């Protein structure tokens, strides 16, 4: 699922939980289309309330590949107003998109990120940080060390990993390389913008 659709689902999460009842055709359709597996269906059905079932589905969907969002739209036959809202919102986001991605000046791309920038970036990243630093050339052992050195603070683990990358690569540890690895992991472009503000 592309980053824009993930963000769209996240932004409408609470609204979807109150409007969509996944007990009916939604789950069955997604199962039929191969988006959900048996274990996903069981996991969703095991939730106690309709809202929790919908939340569980919204947690699973972004991990189910590029066709997941469109299949989810197709599954909303019983909820045409929700489907329409999602499609409208998606169009709005597509229209806004080119304006959001402001070009980063080449002189900035060639510089190394500062400690302050790395701190800001760490605040916005979640579990995907490990894949990002692996993309940048750190090893699983390096990640393990960062976790051991900062056992109770995720942000400190992330900052430590980025600082290690910067120390190791010196002048080659550029914002451009960082941007490339963020894009490879489909991190929302606004995260990079926030870091550079």
For residue 144, pLDDT beyond 90: yes
- Residue 163, pLDDT score: 94
Q: 73-77, 104-108, 147-151: which has the minimum mean pLDDT?
A: 104-108
36: region left, alpha or beta (phi > 0 left; psi from -120 to 50 alpha): beta
What totals of helices (H) and strands (E) does the chain contain, helices first? 14, 0
For residue 24, pLDDT beyond 80: no
Q: List the domain boundaries for the chain.
A: 3-95, 108-195
Cβ pair 10, 3 in contact under 8 A = no
Q: 26-40, 91-105, 154-168, 179-193: which has the minimum mean pLDDT?
A: 91-105
* Cα–Cα distance measured from residue 7 to residue 94, given in angstroms and rounded to the nearest whole number: 12
Question: What's the whole-model pTM score?
Answer: 0.51
11-23 average pLDDT score: 82
* Cα–Cα distance measured from residue 74 to residue 82, given in angstroms and rounded to the nearest whole number: 11
- CATH value of 3-95 in 2.102.10.10, 1.10.150.120, 1.10.533.10, 2.40.10.340: 1.10.533.10
Same fold, 3-95 and 108-195: yes
| b/e per residue 59-82 (b: at least 16 CB within 10 A) | ebbbebeeebbebbbebbeebeeb
For residue range 156-179, what is the model confidence (pLDDT) as tens digits?
999 999 999 999 998 889 988 888
Q: How high does pLDDT run on average in the chain?
A: 86
For residue 20, pLDDT beyond 70: yes
2-28 average pLDDT score: 83
* Cα–Cα distance measured from residue 157 to residue 163, given in angstroms and rounded to the nearest whole number: 10
- What percent of the chain has a predicted confidence (pLDDT) above 70? 95
For residue 99, pLDDT beyond 60: no
Which CATH number describes the domain made up of 108-195?
1.10.533.10
Cβ pair 74, 34 in contact under 8 A = no
């Amino acid at each position: 699922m592309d980053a824009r659709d993930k963000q769209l689902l996240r932004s409408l999460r609470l609204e979807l939980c109150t409007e969509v009842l996944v007990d009916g055709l939604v789950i069955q359709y997604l199962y039929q289309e191969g988006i959900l597996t048996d274990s996903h269906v069981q996991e969703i059905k095991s939730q106690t309330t309709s809202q929790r079932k919908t939340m569980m589905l919204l947690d699973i969907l972004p991990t189910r590949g590029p066709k997941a969002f469109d299949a989810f739209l197709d599954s909303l036959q019983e909820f045409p107003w929700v489907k329409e809202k999602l499609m409208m919102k998606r169009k709005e986001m597509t229209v806004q998109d080119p304006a959001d991605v402001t070009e980063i000046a080449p002189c900035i791309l060639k510089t190394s990120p500062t400690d302050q920038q790395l701190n800001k970036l760490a605040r916005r990243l979640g579990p995907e940080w490990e894949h990002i630093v692996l993309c940048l050339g750190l090893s699983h052992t390096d990640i393990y060390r960062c976790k051991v050195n900062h056992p109770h603070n995720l942000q400190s683990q992330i900052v430590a990993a980025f600082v290690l990358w910067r120390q190791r690569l010196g002048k080659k540890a550029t914002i451009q390389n960082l941007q490339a690895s963020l894009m490879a992991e489909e991190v929302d472009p606004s995260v990079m913008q926030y870091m550079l503000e």
